[in-house]
Amino acid sequence: MVKVLIVDDAKFMRTLIRKALEEAGFEVVGEAENGDQAIEILKNTDPDVVTLDIVMPDKNGIEVLREMLKIKPNLNVIIVSAMGQTDIITEALSVGAKDYVIKPFQPQVVVDVIKRVLGI
Q: What is the pLDDT of residue 56?
A: 86
Is the predicted pLDDT of residue 16 greater than 90, yes or no? Answer: yes
Tell me the average pLDDT across 11-40.
96
- Is residue 113 classed exposed, middle or buried when 0-12, 13-18 and 19+ CB atoms within 10 A define those classes? buried
What confidence tier does 50 reach under pLDDT thresholds 50, 70, 90? very high
% the chain with pLDDT above 70: 99
Say whether pLDDT at 41 is over 90: yes
The band of 103, judged by pLDDT with boundaries at 50, 70 and 90, is confident
Q: Please name each of the domains of the chain with its CATH number.
A: 3-101+113-117 (3.40.50.2300)
